[in-house]
Amino acid sequence: MNYRQGVIIILKKGDSFLLARKKGSAEWYFPAGGQDQGESVTDTFYREIAEELGLQKERVSFLRISRVTHKYEWNEKFKQKTGYDGQEQHIVIAEFTGNIELSGHDELEEVRLVKGAELLRTLAHKDLQETVKKMIAHGELEGVG
User: pLDDT 10s digit of each residue in the chain, 145 long?
Assistant: 899 999 999 999 999 999 999 888 999 999 999 999 999 999 999 999 988 888 888 999 988 999 999 999 999 999 999 999 999 999 999 999 877 776 556 678 889 999 999 999 999 989 999 999 999 999 999 888 6
What local confidence, expressed as pLDDT, does residue 102 receive? 65
Q: Which residues contact 21 (CB under 8 A, 6 or more apart)?
A: 27, 28, 29, 108, 109, 110, 111, 112
Among left, alpha and beta (phi > 0; psi -120 to 50; other), residue 104 is left
Q: Which residues contact 81 (CB under 8 A, 6 or more apart)?
A: none
**Global pTM exceeds 0.85:** yes
What local confidence, expressed as pLDDT, does residue 122 receive? 96
In a domain? residue 117: yes
The letter for the amino acid at 84 is Y
In a domain? residue 144: no
Domain count, the chain: 1
CATH of the domain at 31: 3.90.79.10
Instruction: Give the Cα separation of 16 and 120 in Å (integer).
Output: 12
What is the span of the domain harbouring residue 20?
3-137
In a domain? residue 83: yes
In a domain? residue 143: no
